[in-house]
Every structure is written in C-alpha cells, then in structure tokens.
Amino acid sequence: MANNYSNFNVKSREFWKDGWGGLALAILAALTIRWGLFESYVIPTGSMLPSLLINDHIFVNKLVYGLRVPFSENWLVKFKEPERGEIIVFKHPNEMGTFLIKRVVGVPGDKIAFDAGTLYINDVAQERTPDPKNEVFMKIRDYDFKQDKEGHDSLMHYDHFIEKLQVTGGIKEHSVLLRQGVADDHFGPVKVPEGYLFMMGDNRHNSNDSRYWGYMPKENILGRASLIWLSCDEMLPVVGVLCNPLTVRWGRLLNAVN
C-alpha cells in the first residue's frame, strides 16, 4: 500500500515526531533554554583569578533576575535586583558585542573607592586577610597572567587575600589577587547612580572594569555565574572551543561559583 506521508505534512503525527516539525521543536526548545534559563560561557582571561580560572566552563543563570523580551535589553518581568558580591556576565557598556564577567562591588547609592589594594564601600574599608597557601592560588600558572596583559608576569609577584565583602545580611568571603609593589592604584571615591552597578575583577591589578569604563547599566546584564561544569588547563589546538581531555581539572567540576 502506498505511503502518503510527507516530511512537510504539518497535519501528520510523523511530521512532529520524526520529520522537520520535530527538528523545529528541538531547536525552539534549545533557544528557549538559552534565552530564558541558562547559557554556557568559557572564561577567556585571568581578570577573575583565582575565583575563576582561564578555561573554566560555567553555566550562567539567566532567570535569576527576570525574563527579557527576546533579542532586546528590555525586561518582561523582574524577580530580584543584583546584589553586592555576585558574579555577573554582562555586555560591555561601550562595546555591546563584547561579554564580560566581573563581581558586583557597588549597587545604586554606594560610594566606592579603591586605595593601596583596599576596597572601600561607603567609606568603610572591606577587611582582607592574607591566604598565601590557598590551593587554587598555588595552581595558577605564570602563563595565565600573560593572557591578560602585555609583557611578562609571574605568580611570584602576586599575593592572595580573602576579602570580606559587606553584603545584605552579613559578609561574603571571596578571593582576590593583588600585585606586589603597585603604588598607583588609587581610584575614587565615586557614587553609583540609580540603574547602574560598579563591577570589579578579583584579579584587581589585571582587570578592565568599572574603574576604567565606568558604571554598568543593569539592562546589560546577561545573568549570574552559577556553576563550573567543566575546566581544563588547555583547549584543543584545532577546535579551540573544546577542552583537551588530558588536561581536565577534575577537582573544579560541578563547583559552585563563589
């Protein structure tokens, strides 16, 4: 008996199960997840060392702050505002095609200053304590610094600290790097205007952040970094978006982003 099924018969069950309709639904589902739920990004530079290493693959929660109108910076609905201490992926304020990842250190109304390696929020110095034997810090390579600045640099020129950032409801502890002997790191004070955030990298002397390009508009937010799902020392030389399986950092897999 002749089969009347056609790949383009939208009224047939086979079209939606095995034909082009099924493929279209799969693509639509993938795009919906990427638009509204989460998306994967790879860390390309050392500006967030040691909290995030180069070639960390992270999931970004795109639903935590709300839902956007597709292909725009406008919100359909907002659930919550970004808070101090959160790590956010966002569009560069001056280059919308460039994505950055930094930590929120200032919310609207905050007075921000940075002096001699110390961050000041509303005139209060954020406490930091040395942590020279931090396990992640000891695994940073000299090569990781060359990714983020011109010339040569080495881990031996940096100190690791735990910064105790004042956040809503208490203190958030996170890692920061400071380069030894830097004397010209004075910034501010400035006051964060309404609708904007002040962003800084944890690698404080190797980060292109709000100290250089200004405040980050909230509409530029893409989502909050949530989980490291893969990490490796090296990417494959031919397929630069894939990890070299021989260099996977197994201890970082499925770690929450702090």
Catalytic residue numbers, as ranges = 47, 102
Would you state the structure tokens that stand for residue 231, as one six-digit string? 């990490």
User: Residues near 29 by Cβ (< 8 Å), separated by ≥ 6?
Assistant: none
Domain boundaries, the chain: 13-256
CA count, 13 A, side-chain hemisphere, 133: 0
The pLDDT mean for the chain works out to 84
Global pTM reads 0.81
pLDDT in tens, 26-50: 555 555 545 445 688 889 889 999 9
Q: For domain 13-256, say whether CATH 1.10.10.10 is its number.
A: no
pLDDT in tens, 196-242: 999 999 999 989 999 999 999 999 999 999 999 999 998 888 766 78
pLDDT score, position 105: 97
